Structure 1
Amino acid sequence: MATIKDVAKDSGVSIATVSRVINKSPKASAKSIAVVEKSMKALGYRPNANARALVSKSTNTIGVLVSDVSDPFFGLMIKAVDDVARKNGKQVLIGNGYHNATDERNAIELLINSRCDSLVVHSKGLSNQELIDYANEVPGFILINRLVPEIAERCIALDNFKGAYLATEFLIKNGHKQIACIGSNQEIEDSVQRKDGYLQALKDNGLTTSDNYIEFSEPTDIGGEKAMMNLLAKNLPVTATFAYNDFMAAGALSALEDNSIKVPEQMSLVGFDDGLIAKFVHPKLTTIRYPIHIMAEKAASLAIMLAKGEHKSSSVSLFNPTLIKRMSVSKI
């Protein structure tokens, strides 16, 4: 494998000149650039990324931490970050955290050690203090879908409580009083906030419910199917259900279909996220739009600006959820 010394010898210039060309120094002349690039191509030389990083203090990469890259929700988030990264001449390095503190910590450490000067982090497992420490260490550190008061200016979040409130309120406005909730069993703030939004909407409209009307399961289509089967087994007078996300709603829809319960004629259903699946189930799913693409674009842009020292935010960016009306809710 060719080395920088081989390139210098082949092109007839000094090692320092080759280094200037590799690191795109303005001191490199057009002639030097031409001969060095020709030699690198002929010898098959590839500059060492870590060595370049030591010179430039950056690898031109944006680090992204997600829960699970196979989840379409996080696929949209990564795509948005990548769009911003490419416009800024950068590439994306991805880590999976699986909402687990150890996995998230290991992934963030790897991204930092890989000299990512911009980080967009979706963390649910780490403590507030650890995230504060990382934010203090990495100037371009941005936290998405979580609000930590001490670093609020570095947070991009969604009002999950309001989204669940809107979903439940919409069902109430359509005449529903016996409303169930299918929640996520993950021990993260999103789960609590969406359950609380559902309960508060009931309370504000003079409705009461019991724990029997709430089922928790994995936030997947299979989890949603299990949760709905459990609700049906209780034989409750439920006319509508709010689901933690669209995948759980899709699973619930499948369980209802298997039991010959028509949606929305016999059971109205509202999801959360407005993912692709919401448009392709039948009936099309009424849901709460989670603007993850816009949020991720803003997070990536802010991370890059902060890393350059070009921008300082003064307040948290809290995005509003919106109700998307489709065909899965009817009046009673």
Structure 2
Amino acid sequence: MATIYEVSALAGVSLSSVSRVLNDHEHVSKKTKEKVVAAMNELNYRPNTIARSLASNRSNSVGVLVSELHGPFFGAMLSSIELELRNAGKHAVITAGHSDEKSEINGLDFLIDRKCDALILLVDAISDDYLIKLSKGNTPFVILNRNISEISDHCFYLDNELGGYLAAKYLIEQGHKEIAYISGPLTKQDSTERLTGHKKALAEANIPFKESLLYEGDYLTKSGRDGINFLIKHKTTFTAVACSNDEMASGAMRGARDHKWLIPEQCSFIGFDNAFFTEYLYPQLTTINFPINDMAKMSTQWILKNVYKQKELDITNMFIPELIERQSVKKN
């Protein structure tokens, strides 16, 4: 196995020059870099990543802590982060906290102990106070899908209230007045904000919000099906259902078909996220677009800019939802 000394000798440059090339040091001439790279290729030299980390005080890895690993939302997010990091020569270390405070804190400790240079967090159970305190530590981080005013420049989030408002407003514009709502867990910030937006649209149209038309789900497909069954069992009257994410909307649509309901003729449905599968449902699901790929990419670029000094770009922290109109809503 070739050594850095052999690379130095073959390239005709000093050991320190080879080290600067390996660590992407900015004060290296193009000619020197070309010599070192050519020597490395000829010798089939692979740099020792541990040694490089010790020399540069960087692990070249970014820790990613998410609440869950399953589902299209998290898959799209993780794919965007990993691709952006890989293109920059960095690596992602991924773990899940399963929306449990102890598990999320353990995940944080694991990533920090692994000497990750920075962290990307999508956490539900860890308190704002804990994250504010963490921001005073030595490991920089960003937060997805959550806004904490004290550290808002580290937060990348959607205007969830506007999203909930747009969904309900669209249903109302199509003539619906009896609108059921299947929410995500109301302990989560995004769920409560979407429900707030839903209620705002109803209030503007002088439509009273009925607790009997609310079912609290868990963002999973089965809870959407359970929600529609609950609403039907309790003989509530509604012509449309707004769901806090697309997975629950797909489950609710399946539940409606179990009862032989026609969609959208007998009941309309609108989701939230614009997951890839919404175009393959029948009918195709009207939904609210959550640009999670763009948000994940932007948060990663924040790290590349502020931690690795690789990027010079304008940072956008808040993202705006958009209505995606398809065929699952009956127009009156």
Q: TM-score range by the shorter chain?
A: 0.7 to 0.9
Shift of 1:34: 4.0
Alpha-carbon separation, structure 1, partners of 2:270 and 2:240: 8
| Residue 301 to residue 258, structure 1, CA distance change in 2 (3 Å) | same
1:324 is the counterpart of 2:328: no
1:261-289 Cα distance to aligned partner (Å, 9 max, x none): 11110101100000012111110000000
Opposite residue 125 of structure 2, the aligned amino acid is G
Q: Secondary structure of 1:202's partner?
A: helix
- Number of the residue aligned with 2:227: 227
Aligned partner of 2:212 in structure 1 is 212
TM-score by length of 2: 0.86
- What residue in structure 2 maps to residue 24 of structure 1? 22
Match of 2:169 in 1: 169
Tell me how far apart the structure 2 counterparts of residues 272 and 283 of structure 1 sit (CA, whole Å).
16
For residues 190 and 204 of structure 1, the distance between their equivalents in structure 2, rounded to whole angstroms, comes to: 21
SS in 1 for 2:142: strand
Counterpart residue number, 1:256? 256
> Higher relative CO (CA 8 A, sep ≥ 6), structure 1 or 2?
1
Superposed displacement of residue 92, structure 1:
1.4
* C-alpha deviation, 1:136, in angstroms: 2.6
Contact 2:183 2:214 in 1 (8 A): yes
Deviation at residue 109 of structure 1 after TM alignment: 1.9
CA deviation map 1:138-190 (0-9, x unaligned): 46411111000001111110011110110001000000100000112362111
Q: Evaluate the alpha carbon distance shift between residue 314 and residue 76 of structure 1 in structure 2; reply closer, same or farther with a 3 A threshold.
A: closer
CA distance 1:237–1:151, change in 2 (3 Å): same
Matched residue, 1:239? 239
Give 1:28 deviation, angstroms: 9.8
Do the aligned residues in 1 keep the contact of 2:182 with 2:248 (CA within 8 Å)? Answer: yes
Secondary structure of 2:235's match?
coil
TM-score normalised by structure 1 residue count: 0.86
Does 2:105 align with 1:105? yes
RMSD of equivalent CA atoms: 3.1
Q: Structure 1 residue 88: deviation in Å?
A: 1.2
Q: For residues 241-268 of structure 1, give each alpha carbon's deviation from its aligned partner in whole angstroms, at most 9, with x where no partner exists.
A: 1001101000000011110111110101
Single out whichever of 270-279 and 55-64 deviates more from structure 2. Answer: 55-64
Q: Is the 8 A contact 2:8 2:18 kept in 1?
A: no
Say how many residue pairs are matched. Answer: 321
Task: Provide the residue aligned with 2:288 in structure 1.
Answer: 288
Matched residue, 2:141? 141
Alpha-carbon displacement from aligned partner over 1:74-123 (angstroms, at most 9, x marks no partner): 11111111221122111111111212222222222222222222322111
CA distance in 1, matches of 2:148, 2:88: 28
Question: Equivalent residues in 2 for 1:72-221 (5 A)?
Answer: 72-138=72-138, 140-185=140-185, 187-221=187-221
Identity %: 30
Between stretches 301-310 and 97-106, larger displacement belongs to 301-310
Deviation at 1:233, TM superposition (A): 0.8
Unaligned runs of 5+ in 1: none
Q: SS at the partner of 2:331?
A: coil
Q: Relative to structure 1, is the Cα distance of residues 113 and 327 closer, same or farther in structure 2, using a 3 angstrom cutoff?
A: same
The DSSP-based 3-state class of the residue aligned with 2:109 is helix
Q: Please give the secondary structure, in 1, of the residue aligned with 2:156.
A: strand
Cα offset, 1:205, TM superposition = 0.9
Q: Which amino acid is the alignment partner of residue 271 of structure 2? A: G
SS of alignment partner, residue 135 of structure 2:
helix
